[in-house]
Structure 1
Amino acid sequence: MAEPNVITKQDLIESAKTCIVKNGVNKLTLKAVAEGAGVTQGTVYYHFKTKDQLMVEVVSDMCQTSWDRLERMKKNSDQQVKEWIQTGLQSASKRNSSDSFYHSLFYSLITASLHNNKIREQISGLLTYENQVLEKQIEAVAGKELYGVSAEVWSVLMNALIDGLAIQSMMIEDFDANKAFKGLETLLIKQMEDNQPST
């Protein structure tokens, strides 16, 4: 099959995001992505062999964008630590909102990965990437250890907390995600500020 030269993989990922926003995750198809991008289905199949592969790429793209934004913010001053935490949690909170599709897409992939080793490997890679990026960012703002716990473990715990809040937001109708995120923000800022070296 000849390589399409008119549209990029990123264009198709953006088309997929638009399709999901307009019609929901359940109505995402490779055909809908092709129509949204104004290309043939063959062009989409060239880049993505399956819908699951496309979904993994959409989730990965959203993660990369969020982590890149935080990476640009990391600094060592107290005020910047606070802003870094607030920005990170605001981003996570937005992904938990009722009009966001990120976690429904992510958990659909988790479910699919239980029976599909290729998806499991991709999700494992994505989670590992997130943990490693967050570990480096935590080290940059708070050092290699907080209260006797390594930045590596903190990164896993923080990502698990965010994903756990997403599950509760999706499953409990009257779950107050704003209250939970505000409490988490207060806790994290206090821990990070307490861990800053005194001047």
Structure 2
Amino acid sequence: MAKPNVISKEALIQSAKTCIAENGLEKLTLQSVAKQANVTQGTVYYHFRTKENLMMEVVRHVCGSSWANVKNSLLPSSEKLKKALLSAKSRTKENADYHRLCLSLIVSSFQNERIKEQLSHLLQSENQCLTEELTRLWGKSPIDGVSLTTWGILVNALIDGLAIQALVYDDFSAEDVYLELEWILVRLTEKMM
């Protein structure tokens, strides 16, 4: 028997993440989330209205949790950056559904202006977080003429591009590439000291 329809959006997002982890992105539906949460499908529909809205909230939750872990850490900025890279690397293989989910939403955004706007805000937030950490770490750009804002965008684009390669290239060595990306950032940091 389904629970009364009093359930938080957060609990439904957790149920959606469980559905994705257990059954894959292809089998994610509002109905599967309702079944996982032991509520009616109408309850899930009330909170999200569409599968795309549900997917967007899952992406926002994963991204927000990851950045909150980094930002709230008491580690120095150089260690926070390493932590962010480790988190991103973990999502290339172990939690590849996150990036598959993001890419599905990107494709949806070509036809759905609202999803595009939400993804735009999410990317801007990620870029800003990276820019803030690089600013704390470097103080100024390691290369004259390249702003710290551009560095934040470039690092974010590198991370997203690496995730795409990990999704489509079976022999992609995330371990090596992320280690070398970390090395590049460390070398740039040393240049600033």
TM-score (norm 2): 0.92
5 Å-filtered alignment, 1:101-180, equals: 101-148=97-144, 149-180=146-177
**Unaligned stretches of 5+ in structure 1?**
none
> Which residue in the other structure is 2:51 paired with?
51
5 Å-filtered alignment, 1:1-199, equals: 6-73=6-73, 80-148=76-144, 149-196=146-193
Which amino acid is 1:140 matched to?
A: R
CA deviation string 1:54-81 (max 9, x = no partner): 0000001111111111112366xxxx34
CA deviation string 1:99-134 (max 9, x = no partner): 431100000101111111111111111111111122
Post-superposition offset of 1:5? 6.7
Which amino acid is 2:40 matched to?
A: T
Contact residue 92 and residue 166 of structure 2 kept, 8 A: yes
Contact residue 81 and residue 193 of structure 1 kept, 8 A: no
Instruction: Decide which moves more: 150-159 or 93-102.
Output: 93-102
Q: Percent identity over the alignment? A: 47
**Unaligned stretches of 5+ in structure 2?**
none
What is the CA–CA distance in structure 1 between the aligned matches of 2:95 and 2:163, rounded to whole Å?
13
Contact residue 81 and residue 192 of structure 1 kept, 8 A: no
Match of 1:146, SS? coil
What is the CA–CA distance in structure 1 between the aligned matches of 2:32 and 2:26, rounded to whole Å?
12
Contact residue 5 and residue 43 of structure 2 kept, 8 A: no
Distance 1:74 1:137, change over 3 A: farther
